[in-house]
Amino acid sequence: MSSGDDDLNDDSSSSHKQYTFTIENGVVTAYFEVENGITERESIDSRDSFVINGNQITHTKQTSDGPEVTIFSDPDADGFYRVTSDSNDDNGRPGDGDHKAYKFTVENGRVVAAFERDDGVWEQESIDDDGTETYTVESNGDVTRTEVKPFGTEITRYSDTDGDLVFNRVSEQWQNGPNAPGSGHFVLEDNLRFSHSDDDDLIAVRRGEDCRGGGGADDFVIREAAHLRIADFNGNEDDTLVFDTGLGLTSVQHLIGFVTNAHYVGEDLIVEFGSDVSITIVGLQPDQASWDNVSVLS
Residue 10: band (very low, low, confident or very high) from pLDDT cuts 50, 70, 90? very low
Query: What pLDDT score was predicted for residue 86?
Result: 61
Q: In 3D, which of 177, 207, 190 has the Cα closest to residue 244? A: 190
- Bridge partner residues of 136 (DSSP): 144
Query: What pLDDT score was predicted for residue 65?
Result: 58
pLDDT (tens digit per residue) in 146-181 = 998 877 899 999 999 888 899 999 999 999 877 655
What is the DSSP secondary structure assignment for residue 191, as one 8-state letter? P
Phi, psi of 121 (to 5 degrees): -115, 135
Residue 7: band (very low, low, confident or very high) from pLDDT cuts 50, 70, 90? very low
Query: What pLDDT score was predicted for residue 179?
Result: 64
| pTM over the 0.85 mark | no
d(CA 34, CA 24): 20
Higher pLDDT, 173 or 286: 173
Query: What pLDDT score was predicted for residue 286?
Result: 87
Residue 85: band (very low, low, confident or very high) from pLDDT cuts 50, 70, 90? low
Q: Is the pLDDT of residue 248 over 80?
A: yes
pLDDT (tens digit per residue) in 59-84 = 888 776 566 778 888 877 889 998 87
Q: What is the percent of the chain where pLDDT is above 90?
A: 47
Q: Are strands 268-272 and 192-193 parallel, antiparallel or unpaired?
A: unpaired
Query: What pLDDT score was predicted for residue 8?
Result: 39
Higher pLDDT, 47 or 222: 222
Indicate the average pLDDT of the chain: 84
Phi, psi of 245 (to 5 degrees): -95, -20
Query: What pLDDT score was predicted for residue 180?
Result: 56
